[in-house]
Amino acid sequence: MFTARRSRTATVPRSRLFTARRSRTATAPRSRIRAFGLRTRLLAAFLLVAAVSAGTTSALTYREARNALLKTTQDTAVATFREQVQQTGFGLPIQGEGLEEVLRDLARKGKPRPWVVFAEYGSLRASSGENPVSTVITPQLRRAALANPYGGFERVVKDGVPYLTIAMPTVFKTGPYSTLPSGLVLYAVMRMTDEQINVDALLTAARDGALPGLAVALVPGLIAARSVLRPVRELRRAASSMGSGRLDTRIAVRGNDELADLASTFNESAAQLEDSVNELREAEARARRFASDVSHELRTPLAGMLAVTEVLDEDADHLDADTARAVRLVSAETGKLAVLVEDLMEISRFDARAAELNADEVDVAEAIRKTLQNRHWHEDDRVHAELPAGIRARLDPRRFDVVIANLVGNALRHGGAPVTVGLRTGERPKGTPVLITEVTDRGPGIRAESIPYIFDRFYKADAARTRSAGSGLGLAITQENVRLHGGTIRAGNRPDGGAVFTVEIPLDTGEPTA
């Protein structure tokens, strides 16, 4: 009696490759920022999770269904072929006559669908079909059938058509647990086109089921993104509102999650900031009122003191030396105090935004000459002027006079002779024509660490100088007057030594700025 068993051999499964096409979209920088904003990233993350979940579920479902389908067909075919082979008797030696009819009978009994049965015995080849030798049976299956008395099977793909090939060697049963190969090997070849169609249908169903799932997942993704982005947008609007000066801006707190905690923290911080800014504003307002009130209150007694000191100065030559020295000291200090009071009143007007620009078209060179003449600097050998004629600009003569006077006076006090006042025109990087006035000296220059603070109020470039010869507000007032003209002022040092102050005022100044 011949027996056959199924053994496990190497299989050649049919594989499929899925490719995805990636498109490139050229966008402008602004569009790129908008395209990859927080909403897009949240939706992308949500859809990615949904895609991975749906893809994993579909792939596992497809694999299990495919394996179950193929295994059912495969097990049915192998079991049926083994049973038919066991029930068929062969006489030895095997003769070609009548063998093909036996093979055709086996093929007709094939399940789950008809087979093509091949027989190989030594050099003898026969089949139930037209060709005695199959091109589907692989050498690996033949070697496995000869080496293993229990047979085997294999799934192969030939010219795009899937096949199941089964090898069953026939054996003599020589004992209860021993067999002897007869040398005859039967092969069954069955097309698996129906199974492939079913597998393709499973793949299509898995794919088509995943895509609607992603579309459905987009809806909760949009809802989730909106719930996250709404507090973020409110926070952005609130921050922008606070940046524009509305410190009473607050955010509505909804829920008790992390975003609600963020809104609460923002509101608390905004309230503390509002309190701090209000306190600073009140303190600044009190300081301005104090300086303004003190300046106004001091003007009347200072006027009387100046009148008295002028009289005392005239009679100082007739007094004894100590009294004359005291009188001149009082007169000098009273004059300094008067200058300080006037500067404080002027700076308080700038702080209160009460300073006005009364611009008129003037000859700039002539305006600078008048400034030098009024201070008697035109007769001073230490001051030189390089003033080309024909330069006209819209300026406030009084405030421009203060600018030139403060810069020249500062150079004479803290710089070194000669002091040069230069005038020319130029252009800013954007092509705006400007009036350029430079005041240079030959002194030691400005220390590098002092340049950023040189226009601060009461700033002392020389820390060892306990008392300033002026009010300490001259350069600060100069900067404010230049800004009122819409211009800029900067301080620096010359390459060959000495300080240089450069004032740039637009030549096409229109409406005055407050």
* pLDDT at site 186: 87
User: Are β-strands 392-395 and 499-506 bridged in parallel, bridged antiparallel, or unpaired?
Assistant: unpaired
pLDDT along the chain (514 residues), means of 10: 37 34 38 55 70 72 77 85 79 70 84 86 84 87 80 86 87 70 85 81 72 69 70 82 85 80 87 88 76 69 76 75 81 78 77 82 93 89 90 92 92 89 88 91 90 85 53 85 92 91 81 43
The set of long-range contacts for 137-146, using a CB threshold of 8 Å and a minimum separation of 24, is 137/165, 137/167, 137/187, 137/189, 138/12, 138/165, 140/9, 140/10, 141/9, 141/165, 141/167, 141/187, 142/167, 142/185, 144/7, 144/9, 145/169, 145/185, 145/187, 146/185
* pLDDT at site 466: 47
Residue 247: CA count within 13 A, CB half-sphere:
12
Amino acid at 503: V
Question: Which pTM was predicted?
Answer: 0.48
* pLDDT at site 10: 35
Nearest-5° Cα angle at 25, 20 to 28: 155
* pLDDT at site 511: 44
Beta-bridge partners for 386 = 422
* pLDDT at site 17: 31
Quickly count: other Cβ atoms within 10 Å of residue 367's Cβ. 18
- Identify the residue whose tokens are 């995805």: 20
End-to-end CA distance of the chain: 118
